[in-house]
Amino acid sequence: MLPSEYLVVETRKGRISPVFSSRYPNAGDMASELIKIFENCVGRRKKHLTAELKKFYDETFDYGYNRFVKGLCVLLERRCSFSARSELDPKLVRERVFKRGPALDGAERLRILSEVAKELGVSVEAVENSLWADNEAELFVESFESITPEQLLRLYDLSLTQTLLFKAVSVDLFVRSHYKEVLRRVKRLGLMYLAEKQESGVKISVEGPASVLKLTEKYGTAFARLLPLEGDWALHARILMRKGRAPRIYDFYVNSSALDWEEPVKANEFDSAAEESFARRFSSLNTGWQLRREGEALVCGNSVFIPDFSLEKDDLRVYLEIVGFWTEGYMKKKLRKLRDLERSERERMILAVSEELACAFKEFEAEMPVIYFKKKIPLAEVLNVLREYERKQERERGDYAAVKEEVASLKGDVVRLDELEQATGASKRLLRSILEREPPAGYVFLGDELVSVALLETLKDKLRGGMRYLEAVSLLREHGIKSERAFEHLGFKVVWKGLNPESAVLVREKC
């Protein structure tokens, strides 16, 4: 991200866009010259580097390139390391010199420096060189991590976009590949988001810095660092800009092909101090539970949800979600998403909620454990909940044989997991455990449904290589099968040609 004073944008008909490097003639040549200046200044004082850059600024100012050039220089300077070169501690030297009073002429100055040199047992020159060695202008350029002109211009375009996103009210990300990686990045940055499955991918809506009730520099910086992202994506942001006293919202559009930056920007491992504190304290205990950062993606109706942590012990998995940044609108969506979780997943969810939001989450106490906290999540309460889950699992294991016998007596070509849950009264987790290990004779367990072997054999004769994907799915639906894992079981795979499902076809796997 660049300092806001170097943000260069243009607006037209309600849209806003950064002025990318490609808009500047000879941008590549300028980038190359600037890189050479930085390379040639390694081992020299920063004031020399500043003087060389000023010459370059003066030459380019008349062409309207000033903010562009200064933006490039900011990025290049971040790739430098600076240090003071001094025999003595500059602060100590100044303390000894200044306590002797002001020097009114050159002779008086030399006398004071000589006294300090004698006192410290060094030469006058050493005292002179150390006096202001830690001043920014006197620092030496120790190293410079070089970069090609092409890389620098791509980094500039990315940084300019990040700076613009700092002013966003909201962002909608349309992700067509690597959506789990993108979701994890959004969570690691500690952003407020909602994810919704769509036909060609996932839509991730993120609350922008300008929408947060208590706007913090931390949230805004994290939001700006959302880019770059992996995979194939498109972004629509609503940008709040002020012209005089009147604020105005502009639309900003960009996609993965416009921001090709090969070095991913690292996100923080934890979303918040409360989350980091909990992870470190829990991991230090010998509980037998393994803490994992961001487990599997859970489906909530048409949405996708990744809890902050999963807690695992043997074959038992419990999720922990910690509520962080929030706005009223975001909280309503969050509550709706939690309600859309399947019952089996709600039963394995622990909510850790700030006491400030206690009223909003009271209604969930009947459906899942809710733990309230001020600054730190109370470990004792979390462990009590986990012990209750362990006791519940032991009770379910006692019911294993009875449930297994009841499942075996069910009839029908397709029996779904929710139907079994209703018929037996057992949890989906227990049913899934039974069916994955020992499905009833004559059945195959596919996703969330039992399908008879006889029906699958019938479908095998009807499916064929080269068959259109949508036609094959329709055939499954006609026979009551929802799970597309039936294709794999029958020896087929789906081959996609682009993102349009109408172009996908079935191909028979080679034996």
The full set of domain ranges for the chain reads: 85-133, 273-395, 400-508
Instruction: Determine which of 227-241, 416-430, 457-471 has the lowest per-residue pLDDT on average.
Output: 416-430
Cis geometry, peptide bond prior to residue 440 (ω within 30 degrees of 0): no
Is it the case that residue 424 has pLDDT exceeding 90?
Answer: no
Collect all residues with Cβ–Cβ distance below 8 Å to 468 and sequence separation of at least 6.
502, 504, 505, 506
> How high is the pLDDT of residue 39?
94
- Say which CATH topology domain 273-395 has: Trna Endonuclease; Chain: A, domain 1 (3.40.1350)
Residue 48 has pLDDT above 80, yes or no: yes
Does 248 have pLDDT greater than 60? Answer: yes
Whether the CB-CB separation of 491 and 477 falls below 8 Å is answered with no
Across the range 387-394, mean pLDDT stands at: 82
Give me the residues paired with residue 40 across strands: none
Mean pLDDT of 211-223: 63
Q: Say yes or no to pLDDT of 247 above 90.
A: no
Q: What pLDDT is stored for residue 19 in this prediction?
A: 92
Lowest-confidence segment of 90-94, 248-252, 382-386 by average pLDDT: 90-94
Best mean pLDDT range from 100-104, 351-355, 465-469: 465-469
What is the total residue count of the chain? Answer: 511
| Predicted pLDDT of residue 395 | 67
**pLDDT at residue 327 above 60?**
no
| pLDDT tens digit sequence for 109-156 | 888 888 888 888 888 888 887 877 878 888 889 999 999 999 999 999
- Terminal Cα distance for the chain, rounded: 52
Q: Which of 49-58, 214-223, 315-324, 399-408 has the highest mean pLDDT?
A: 49-58
Q: Which residue has the higher pLDDT, 236 or 329?
A: 236
Helix/strand/coil for 43:
coil
Q: Quote the CA–CA distance of 410 and 420 in Å, as a whole number.
A: 9
Instruction: Check the CA dihedral 255-258-262-265 and report its sign.
Output: negative
d(CA 293, CA 270): 9
Sort residue 311 into left (φ over 0), alpha (ψ -120 to 50) or beta. beta
Q: State how far the Cα of 351 lies from the Cα of 341, in Å rounded to an integer.
A: 13
Select the highest-mean-pLDDT range: 421-425, 431-435, 453-457: 453-457
> What is the three-class DSSP state of 354?
strand
| CA–CA dist 303, 401 (Å, integer) | 35
Structure-model confidence comparison of residues 310 and 221, the more confident one: 310
Percent of the chain scored above 90 by pLDDT?
A: 16
What whole-number percentage of the chain has pLDDT above 70? Answer: 84
3-state secondary structure 367-415: CCCEEEECCCCCHHHHHHHHHHHHHHHHHHHHCHHHHHHHHHCCCCCEE
417-424 helix and 400-408 helix, angle to the nearest 10 degrees: 120
Q: Write down the mean pLDDT value for the chain.
A: 81
Beta bridge partners of residue 250, listed in sequence order: 239
Q: Which residues contact 357 (CB under 8 A, 6 or more apart)?
A: 323, 326, 331
Backbone angles phi, psi at 45, to 5 degrees: -70, 155
Q: Which helix or strand (DSSP H or E) is residue 260 part of?
A: none
Higher-scoring residue by pLDDT: 33, 232: 33
CA distance 434 to 440: 9
Angle (nearest 5°) at CA 171 between 165 and 172: 145
Q: Is the pLDDT of residue 499 over 90?
A: no
pLDDT value at 344 more than 70: no
Q: Distances from the Cα of 313 to the Cαs of 290, 387, 507, in angstroms?
A: 6, 11, 40
Tracing tokens 């979600």 back to the chain, one arrives at 321
* Sheet of 449-452, strands arranged across: 414-416, 449-452, 443-446
pLDDT value of residue 265: 47
Are the C-beta atoms of 309 and 320 separated by less than 8 Å? yes
Above 50 in pLDDT, residue 213?
no
Sheet holding 370-373: strands in order across? 290-293, 309-313, 316-322, 349-354, 370-373
Residue 114's identity, in one-letter code, is S
Is this structure's pTM higher than 0.85?
no
Helix runs in 202-272, H state only:
217-224
pLDDT of residue 260: 63
Q: Alpha-carbon distance 480 to 414, whole Å?
A: 7
Residue listed under structure tokens 């006692």: 398
Strand partners, 255: 234
* pLDDT of 484 strictly over 50: yes
More confident residue, 58 or 2: 2
| Residue 246 structure tokens | 């009147």
